[in-house]
Chains A and B, each alone.
Chain A
Amino acid sequence: MHVIVVGCGRVGSEVALNLASSEHDVIVIDRRAESFRRLGEDFKGATMVGVGFDRDVLTEAGITPNCAVAAVTSGDNSNILIARVARETFGVKHVVARIYDPRRASIYERLGIATVASVTWTSARVLRHLLVSESTPDWVDPSAKFTILERRVSTAAAGMSVADVETATAGRVAVIGRFGEASIPSPSLLLQEDDVLHIVVPADHAAQLDAALHLTEGTPE
């Protein structure tokens, strides 16, 4: 998959190196060429100096609806601009934005943009948002019988009830995150696109969950 990482700070470089080593096609954009030093000598991806919300820059970086974009600069405002341009102007579905200020997260979540707040921030969380198929679970119980998985609700799954998902996966939605707020859902709650589910399922039910949430359809390669 083609991934565009905007911002080559500690986080951006970690994400880029991680993605490049797992055989994804990565390009890192940063305003300053010196930032690319963090990528080291062996970085297999591409780099580009430029402003991440500039349409020409993104076009030159090979942005398409099937790619993924991580907006991980040091500025919340830049990240939100990049995320919206990627999503709304270029139709990219897999977009994640890093937000330092968790209070702004709800504003951005309402625009339908996945945000990763810096408090529990790791490159792993960014990667999880970008790559559904390779995401690691929130938690696996010691007996390895159950696991808690985090999934973002896609457009196709919007309108399903929590009960529908639980029945289809023999699991329980423990927590749902919506518009920057988390709560414990009742079974009759209808899922909305961009909701973040933390769902307890039997350990081998990840594929079933993804199918129930229509996540395996049209996943980028």
Chain B
Amino acid sequence: MSILRRKNKDACPAEAPGPPPSTPICDTEPRQRVCVCGKVTRMTARPTAGQPALAISVSDDTGTVTAVWTGRRSIGGITLGRRIAINGVPVMHGDHLEFTNPDYTLLPR
């Protein structure tokens, strides 16, 4: 870790003095960088073409998004019911937004 950089204001910070700045899921737009917070409500393995992938659903009171990490089967700390913040640029996937390999922050209960 050689470079110390200021995170931009819209990103979820690595330190958590309070809840990270986030957007309600219902207000999120595809292809705009956004941070959403919620609970992991689903976790599935989604292998395609022989390669593993981890897909989770994150829900807040206003909606649900999915996040997919390609090439991984599990990520430490990401479990059902865990509160988590997701930061990335989602794409419209059917009727909901999907993040590919987003930044994430595990949140305390």
Contacts and interface: CB of A to CB of B under 8 A. Distances in A.
Contact of A119 (B3, B15, B74): B3
A140 B72 CA distance: 37
Given A158-B76, A183-B13, A193-B76, A110 B101 contact: yes
B17 interface: yes
A191 B76 CA distance: 9
Instruction: Name the prevailing secondary structure of the A interface residues.
Output: mixed
B3 A158 contact: no
A175 B1 contact: yes
A110 B4 CA distance: 17
A94 to B, nearest CB: 16
A153 B106 CA distance: 14
Contacts, number: 85
A155 B76 contact: yes
Chain B interface size band reads 20 to 34
A211 interface: no
B51 interface: yes
A196 B1 contact: yes
A110 to B, nearest CB: 6
Contacts of B108: 161, 188, 190
Closest 8 CB pairs of A and B: A158-B76, A177-B1, A158-B77, A155-B76, A88-B71, A193-B76, A159-B77, A190-B106
Interface of A: 84, 87-89, 102, 105, 110-112, 117, 119-120, 153-159, 161, 175-186, 188-193, 196, 198
